[in-house]
Amino acid sequence: MYDFPLRVYYEDTDLAGIVYYANYLKFIERGRSEWVRARGIDQMALRDAAGIVFAVRRVEADYLRPALFGDDLTVRTELVELGGSRIVLDQAVLRGEERLFAARVTLVCLGASGAVRMPAEVRAALTA
């Protein structure tokens, strides 16, 4: 499990001061990026050295409660499944212990010609 803190800024909200629904996808993207980084994987170096990137294939999202301007939030990322070329994560946006948003995200490891197997060292780092 990896927790990434963030604060809701005015730019994240609509006229009512409520987080615009699409911004939750940005929040969880940041959480995923930091989860990968915390495991010692430099995604730009991986792209440059091996021609491999991670791409979102599927997102199932539930909007449970609104986040508001000024809220301090946490994006929680948990590994659910790690396949040869696929990663499944559960992600949540929390205000304290209150769950505001939940998503299951499927990522695929892509090379120049499509889906490719993750290198063993990447798989090992993601499960550490």
Query: Which of 14, 42, 48, 62 is flagged as catalytic?
Result: 14
- Residues 6 or more apart whose CB falls under 8 angstroms from that of 12 comprise 19, 20, 23, 69
Distances (CA, A) of 122 to 59, 67, 95: 22, 34, 31
14 assigned to active site = yes
Answer whether 105's CB lies under 8 Å from 32's CB.
yes
> Tokens 């609104």 correspond to what residue?
66
Q: What is the DSSP letter of 70?
A: T
Provide the Cα torsion 2, 95, 105, 53; round to 10°: -50
Show which residues are catalytic: 14
